[in-house]
Amino acid sequence: MLFEVWAPSAEQVTLQWAGTRAAEPPLPLERDTERDGWWRARAQARDGDRYAYRLDGGPPLPDPRAARLPDGPGGPGAVVDHTRFPWRHPWPGRPLPGAVLYELHIGTYTPEGAFDAAADRLAHLADLGITHVSLLPVCPFPGRHGWGYDGIAPWAVHEPYGGPDGLKRFVDAAHGHGLGVVLDVVHNHLGPSGNLLPSFGPYFTDTHHTPWGTAVNLDAPGSDEVRHYFIGSALAWLRDYRIDGLRLDAVHALHDSRARHFLAELSAAVDALAGHLRRPLFLIAESDRNDPLTTAPRASGGHGLHAQWNDDFHHALHTALTGESQGYYADFARAPLAALAKTLTSGFFHDGTYSSFRGRTHGAPRDPRRTPPYRLLCYAQTHDQIGNRALGDRLAATLSPGLLACAAALVLCAPFTPMLFMGEEWGARTPWQYFTDHTDPQLAEAVRAGRRREFAAHDWGGTDADWPDPQDPATRDRCVLDWSEPDVAPHAALLAWHRTLLRLRRELPALTDPDPARTQVIHDEKARWLSLRRGPVHVTVNLSHDSVATIPLGTPTGPAPRLHVLAAWGEGGGTGGIDVAGADGGVVRVGAESVVVVGEDPLRGGKSVA
């Protein structure tokens, strides 16, 4: 087996065996004559053998490219022979167009907080109508429980979750259910605890800074190898673990002044791997720039990523549902239904408009010819938008089932790629709070203090006495989904409603039509209703707490369409408060906090009630 490591400043590198081979003598590595700064040696090794590197006689350090860290961050790595895993399900892949994503955190999806336990719940998602499970990061981090965004080993898998084989079993099980798997990866920083990469080389630079500290070195001296390091880890997830796509965390924090941006280099490598593997692969960016170049083709100067999150849709929908106006919600809260209408038809709300939160203009217009709607992800809730609130309260903590049903209809019938956050489909009441398990007391206290400052600055609710301690194990335990909820009211009705909407999305081509010209929105800000038209399908929501809305669905010049109900949520989850006028009416009357999906003839479909 070939052992190799990049350590450009070292004068001597040795491989130190560990575990059952700890008594064996160290193995000197030789300089690679063809690659500057690289060291290499061949040795007999089997799956599971543990090892570390010593640089110039220093302490043993884990391999930066170790696929397994059995003892956690800072411990020796272990050899992983990827060819040994017995994959059961051939998988042709599942592309992004037409997808419905489900954001899932392994550590709280089940009480066990492990891959195998989560895999046992995948039938629920397949039955619901999900197409892709989107996992929060699974790289090693300190302790057992955490969100995963402070990982320190981009090639390895968190051992308490089940390690590399556990992830492979989860992916294989998902594919057996027809589900693709998306993995959240973090390239913009590494966690502060156990990060030993600087010992090996210039992986970080003081030229740029991020909210989490020193930036990853993407453009300073030595950055060629750093870029290869992160691109290589991305390809390994897609190749060795059969992952279908990657969600790239906070790409706006990837500071790169080189002529060819890191993201363009990464997307080209992923597209090439997809051609080699003969299955679709994709990259989804989390970006707050509202920059169409993120997903524009590389040939026209873009980065060539396949999709990006759209927080503007979330902010507009959130303000329309809740009336909140603090922080970054301020611009959307001035006229939330107008903001929602703009995002539904244009994608971005801030597309060169002034952002009071930033104190400047923000974003750029999106060209629908270059960026079809499915390249934007829409959602009512995410791990960030819930977890960065002081109490980690979901929408279900304050909104009625009717308003939750309205939110679901707008997300799942929007022209974009929809995404649900775990438990959202039944209106889960469990919070999603920020939790950590740092073993360094000083770091733990710094995290506590930092979160309190953030909560106070954003006025997310509660007081210092109410805010959960990230280090308290009870904080994580509160976030574990309660799997008894889906069987009882009102959760069971909400779950059935989501199933109905996802069935319509599969059966009605209009709901996945990529033509932006076939999406129109009308709304009444004062009366608090909005109607989204997707070709012959109308999704009409009444967000008013106490008033019936009468909404004309015909055009000013054409005849009123013949309408029939495809799905409806009225008072109590039935059709109470819903009235669709007769053949010549073209009018719907929708009760307070209710939603109806109607189709025009010649579209056919029976009445379906959650």
**Using one digit for the tens of pLDDT, what is the confidence trace for 76-111?**
999 999 999 999 999 999 999 999 999 999 999 999
On whether 126 is known to bind a ligand per the annotation, the reply is no
Distance CA 445, CA 469 (A): 10
93 is a domain residue = no
Catalytic residues: 249, 286
The CB density around residue 360, as the number of other CB atoms within 10 Å, is 8
Residue 606 predicted with pLDDT over 50: no
The CB density around residue 575, as the number of other CB atoms within 10 Å, is 20
CATH of the domain at 528: 2.60.40
Residues 184 and 324 in one domain: yes
On whether 313 is known to bind a ligand per the annotation, the reply is yes
CB contact at 8 A, 402 and 571: yes
pLDDT at residue 449, as a whole number: 79
Distance CA 236, CA 351 (A): 35
pLDDT, mean of residues 342-347:
96
69 is a domain residue = no
Amino acid of residue 443: L
pLDDT at residue 571, as a whole number: 59
Residues 531 and 490 in one domain: no
How far the first Cα of the chain sits from its last, in Å, is 58
The radius of gyration computed from the CA coordinates of the chain, to the nearest angstrom, equals 25
The more confident residue out of 529 and 577 is 529
User: DSSP class of residue 562?
Assistant: P
Residues 50 and 150 in one domain: no
Distance of CA 63 to the CA centre of its chain: 28
On whether 412 is known to bind a ligand per the annotation, the reply is no
Residues 286 and 427 in one domain: yes
Lowest mean per-residue pLDDT among 98-102, 167-171, 317-321, 562-566: 562-566
What are the angstrom distances between the C-alpha of 452 and each of 391, 437, 455?
Answer: 11, 17, 5
Residues 452 and 592 in one domain: no
Nearest C-alpha neighbor of 422 from the set 434, 414, 410, 430: 430
465 is a domain residue = yes
Long-range contacts of 538-541 (CB under 8 A, 24+ apart): 538/563, 538/588, 538/597, 538/598, 538/599, 538/600, 539/409, 539/410, 539/413, 539/595, 539/596, 539/597, 540/588, 540/590, 540/595, 540/596, 540/597, 540/598, 541/406, 541/409, 541/410, 541/590, 541/594, 541/595
The CB-side HSE value for 318 (13 A sphere, CA atoms) comes to 25
Residues 464 and 589 in one domain: no
Three-state DSSP class for residue 223: helix
Residue 607 predicted with pLDDT over 60: no
CB contact at 8 A, 89 and 142: no
What are the tens digits of pLDDT across the range 244-290?
A: 999 999 999 999 999 999 999 999 999 999 999 999 999 999 999 99
Residues 38 and 135 in one domain: no
pLDDT at residue 608, as a whole number: 34
525 is a domain residue = yes
Distance CA 221, CA 205 (A): 9
On whether 538 is known to bind a ligand per the annotation, the reply is no
Nearest C-alpha neighbor of 296 from the set 264, 266, 254, 260: 264
Q: What is the mean pLDDT of the chain?
A: 93
Nearest C-alpha neighbor of 376 from the set 417, 317, 420, 419: 417
pLDDT, mean of residues 39-55:
98
On whether 250 is known to bind a ligand per the annotation, the reply is yes
**Is the peptide bond prior to 62 cis by the omega test (within 30 degrees of 0)?**
no
Residues 412 and 538 in one domain: no
On whether 251 is known to bind a ligand per the annotation, the reply is yes
Lowest mean per-residue pLDDT among 294-298, 570-574, 581-585: 581-585
Residues 455 and 588 in one domain: no
Distance CA 309, CA 295 (A): 11
**Which residue's entry shows tokens 């063809």?**
34
Residue 121 predicted with pLDDT over 90: yes
Q: Which domain holds residue 332?
A: 101-215+232-257+269-494
CB contact at 8 A, 78 and 70: yes
Within 280-355, strands assigned E span 282-285, 307-309, 353-355
pLDDT at residue 577, as a whole number: 62
Residue 230 predicted with pLDDT over 90: yes
Q: What percent of the chain has pLDDT over 90?
A: 84
Q: What percent of the chain has pLDDT over 70?
A: 94
Within 379-496, strands assigned E span 417-421
Residue 584 predicted with pLDDT over 50: no
405 is a domain residue = yes
560 is a domain residue = yes
Indicate the helix (H) or strand (E) that contains 117. Answer: helix 115-119
Distance CA 533, CA 521 (A): 6
On whether 438 is known to bind a ligand per the annotation, the reply is no
Indicate the helix (H) or strand (E) that contains 170. Answer: helix 163-176
**Is the peptide bond prior to 221 cis by the omega test (within 30 degrees of 0)?**
no
**Which residue's entry shows tokens 């992830």?**
167
507 is a domain residue = no
77 is a domain residue = no
On whether 56 is known to bind a ligand per the annotation, the reply is no
| Domain boundary pick from 13, 40, 61 | 61
Residues 393 and 456 in one domain: yes
Q: If pLDDT is split at 50, 70 and 90, which confidence band does 439 have?
A: confident
**Which residue's entry shows tokens 């640089």?**
55
Q: Exposed, middle or buried: residue 348 (CB in 10 Å: 0-12, 13-18, 19+)?
A: buried
Distance CA 209, CA 323 (A): 35
pLDDT at residue 450, as a whole number: 76
On whether 231 is known to bind a ligand per the annotation, the reply is no
CATH of the domain at 349: 3.20.20.80
Three-state DSSP class for residue 537: strand
pLDDT at residue 582, as a whole number: 43
Q: For 312-326, b where at least 16 C-beta lie within 10 A, e where not — what string?
A: bbbbbbbbbbeebee
On whether 252 is known to bind a ligand per the annotation, the reply is yes
Distance of CA 266 to the CA centre of its chain: 18
On whether 276 is known to bind a ligand per the annotation, the reply is no
On whether 248 is known to bind a ligand per the annotation, the reply is yes
Q: Token pair for residue 375?
A: 């390249």
Q: Exposed, middle or buried: residue 1 (CB in 10 Å: 0-12, 13-18, 19+)?
A: exposed
pLDDT at residue 605, as a whole number: 41
Residues 195 and 292 in one domain: yes
Residues 530 and 477 in one domain: no
The more confident residue out of 456 and 81 is 81
* Interstrand relation of 245-248 and 2-6 (parallel, antiparallel or unpaired): unpaired
On whether 314 is known to bind a ligand per the annotation, the reply is yes
Q: In sequence order, what are the residues at sequence separation of 6 or more whose Cβ sits closer than 8 angstroms to the Cβ of residue 25?
A: none
Distance CA 147, CA 139 (A): 10
What are the tens digits of pLDDT across the range 357-406?
A: 999 999 999 987 778 999 999 999 999 999 999 999 999 999 999 999 99
What are the tens digits of pLDDT across the range 2-42?
A: 999 999 999 999 999 999 999 999 999 999 999 999 999 99
| Domain boundary pick from 494, 522, 551 | 494
If one counts the domains in the chain, the total is 3
- Rounded to 5 degrees, φ, ψ at 125 are -75, -40
Distance CA 163, CA 236 (A): 15
Distance CA 377, CA 417 (A): 5
